[in-house]
């Protein structure tokens, strides 16, 4: 990823970066505040391992890790590439949640002291043969992606019993809730019981205490029994509640995305704007052309109900959003070429939840799309 500009306003603690027409602002004060909110909800002694996958949900892994390393206990990433990037800024434990795939990656994980997730029985046997340490066995309690299914767990334990020095290889056990918002509490409790039961049996086999981790953002905030040794909050540390816009827990959005005005023009009556002539002026109007489009992550369908924010007002998007440009109405507001316009921020009507609900997606996708690409 090429980031041509990066500055930190020390007074307000705003990291500012530029990428493909976007101006990304990361509010470090809000980030630290959100960690404090999560910490206040945890049981005593529970540690926080923030999730930094997908370039820290578009907030940029380097910027995040540099500024909150002192406030966390470790990190979670998706792959080795992210772990290596993170290791440059932190000596804290790093859990690679997808595990490693090749001999070269396993060697790197050993040399960098990364914690590695075991995906299935085949992966387990491979890692044991290679002597990979700091292993986390993942249990599929209902997510249906990575992890050992419940009916295979007994066989797994029997296999591990026969491994000399197995207790030196394993660091922990983990699983993942199928509901990011814990909506179906009966199923969530079912997952919790499977995980708790297996973790207890696994510890007896190894005759050692294992690190146990199950909680996502929602569980970190509202399910103390599931906190175990460390929680893995993702969305919540970036200021977005997993329970929706109405139940925020005082979380504060960290990401603001802006762009610049590259042209201002008057559109005559009956003239169209954008592909397919979706907008035709009923009277003469004034528009601004903005330096961002769907190639920068803005949902193309956002044009129908969408706004940007500038000059203290919401400005309606007009016409289809193009690949690298879009148009907004600027009647009755003073907007000039070079001015900055907010396309995502902690502003009524332009939050990640607002855009997501309008275009039929989730705030995770909006953050990862509009934020900084990895």
Residues 6 or more apart from 167 whose CB is under 8 A from it?
206, 207, 208
From the candidates 17, 22, 53, 314, give the one annotated as an active-site residue: 53
Distances (CA, A) of 222 to 173, 186, 249, 255: 21, 15, 10, 24
Measured in degrees and rounded to the nearest 5, phi and psi for residue 296 equal: -95, 5
| Region for residue 309 given its phi and psi (left: phi exceeds 0; alpha: psi -120 to 50; beta: otherwise) | beta
DSSP, collapsed to helix, strand or coil, labels residue 280 as strand
Residues 6 or more apart from 244 whose CB is under 8 A from it?
181, 353
From the candidates 107, 275, 278, 313, give the one annotated as an active-site residue: 275
C-alpha span between 347 and 27 (Å, rounded): 14
Residue-wise DSSP of 165-226: THHHHEEEEE---S-TT---HHHHHHHHHHHHHHHHHHHHHHTS--EEE---HHHHHH-GGG
Nearest in space to 17 (alpha carbons), one of 55, 52, 70: 55
Distances (CA, A) of 137 to 123, 173, 182: 10, 5, 23
Tokens of 323: 């690949």
Q: How big is the chain, counted in residues? A: 374
Residues linked to residue 285 through DSSP beta bridges, in sequence order: 267
Is 53 assigned a catalytic role? yes
Long-range contacts of 363-368 (CB under 8 A, 24+ apart): 363/235, 363/240, 364/57, 364/180, 364/235, 366/299, 367/57, 367/58, 367/59, 367/235, 367/238, 367/240, 367/255, 368/54, 368/55, 368/57, 368/58, 368/297
Q: Catalytic amino acids?
A: 53, 275
């Amino acid at each position: 990823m090429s980031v041509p500009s990066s500055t930190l306003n020390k007074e307000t603690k705003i990291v500012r970066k530029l990428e493909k027409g976007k101006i990304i602002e990361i509010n470090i004060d809000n980030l630290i505040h959100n960690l404090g909110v999560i910490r206040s909800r945890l049981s005593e002694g529970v540690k926080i391992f923030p999730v930094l996958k997908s370039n820290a949900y578009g907030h940029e892994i380097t910027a995040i890790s540099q500024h909150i390393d002192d406030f966390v206990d470790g990190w979670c990433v998706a792959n080795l590439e992210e772990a290596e990037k993170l290791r440059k800024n932190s000596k804290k434990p790093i859990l690679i949640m997808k595990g490693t795939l090749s001999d070269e990656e396993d060697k790197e994980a050993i040399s960098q002291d990364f914690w590695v997730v075991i995906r299935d029985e085949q992966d387990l046997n491979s890692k044991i043969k290679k002597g990979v340490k700091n292993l986390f066995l993942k249990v599929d309690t209902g997510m249906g992606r990575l992890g050992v299914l419940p009916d295979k767990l007994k066989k797994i334990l029997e296999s591990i019993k026969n491994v000399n020095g197995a207790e030196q290889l394993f660091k922990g056990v983990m699983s993942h809730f199928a509901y990011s918002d814990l909506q179906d509490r009966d199923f969530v409790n079912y997952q919790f019981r499977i995980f708790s039961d297996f973790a207890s049996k696994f510890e007896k086999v190894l005759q050692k205490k294992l690190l146990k981790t199950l909680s996502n953002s929602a569980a970190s905030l509202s399910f103390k029994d599931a906190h175990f040794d460390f929680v893995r909050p993702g969305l919540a540390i970036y200021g977005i509640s997993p329970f929706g816009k109405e139940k925020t827990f005082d979380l504060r959005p960290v990401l603001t995305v802006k762009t610049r005005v590259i042209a201002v023009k008057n559109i005559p009556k009956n003239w169209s704007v954008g592909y397919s002539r979706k907008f035709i002026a009923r009277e003469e109007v004034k528009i601004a052309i903005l330096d961002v489009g769907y190639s920068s992550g803005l949902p193309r369908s956002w044009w129908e109900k969408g706004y940007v924010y500038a000059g203290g007002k919401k400005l309606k998007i007009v016409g289809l959003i193009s690949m690298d440009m879009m148009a907004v109405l600027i009647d009755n507001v003073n907007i000039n070429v070079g001015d900055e316009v907010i396309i995502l921020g902690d502003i009524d009507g332009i939050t990640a939840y607002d855009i997501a609900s309008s275009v039929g997606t989730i705030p995770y996708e909006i953050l990862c799309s509009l934020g900084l690409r990895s």
